[in-house]
Structures are given as C-alpha cells and as structure tokens.
Amino acid sequence: MSDGRKIAFETKAWFTGSWQKPQDVVELDERALQSVTAFSTADMESNGWFQIGRARIVIEFFPLASAIEKKIDALQAERQRLRANTEATCTRIEGEIQNLLALSYTPKE
C-alpha cells in the first residue's frame, strides 16, 4: 500500500497522561501501553507527560491518491463538526433572545 517511500527515525516515547505512573510501564499490558504512549521529539513535560523511553519509528507512506482521500475525509469531518457547533451556538443564542423578549413583553390592556 506504500508508494515506496519510507522513513525511519528515533524519537522519545512519552506517557500521555499526568495520571500515569512510572510503574505502569511494567504493570500495563501491551495494548494498554499502546493507548497511553505517544512519540515526539519535542519536550512534552509541560503537558504533564513524562518520557518512558526511546522509540524507532518506521513510516511507510500511503500513495498520494490515498493521502489526498484521507485529507478530504478529515476536512469533511471538520466541516461537519464546525456546522454542528455553529448550529448549537445559534440555537442557544436564539433561546437567550427569546427569553429576553419574553421578559420585556408587556401585554396591551
């Protein structure tokens, strides 16, 4: 599935949650370790992460057409999320306007 391009590099392995403990390295099973481990060359300590080791990463790149398709899918998902959030905000604002109008309504006698 690769277009033939592949890169390999070393980077830092980090536990991603401030709730993680150093002993989790030996106590968690492999699947759990995968879910709480991230890889970055940046210093992530300010995020509450702590470095647990080093990793050798190998990336086999998708063909360009596949990468484009995945980017389009991501943009469409972002667009849908933004529309939903905007609609929810507009609905909330409309509710506040209606509440204020109801407070200021004075029936004619």
Which residue did the predictor score with more confidence, 23 or 108? 23
**Cα 49 to chain centroid, rounded:** 16
In this structure, the number of other CB atoms found within 10 A of the CB of residue 20 comes to: 19
Do the Cβ atoms of 38 and 64 come closer than 8 Å?
no
pLDDT at 2 over 70: no
Task: Give 54-99 pLDDT, tens digit per residue.
Answer: 999 999 999 999 999 999 999 999 999 999 999 999 999 999 999 9
DSSP state of 42: S
Q: Which band of pLDDT confidence, cut at 50, 70 and 90, is reported for residue 1? A: low
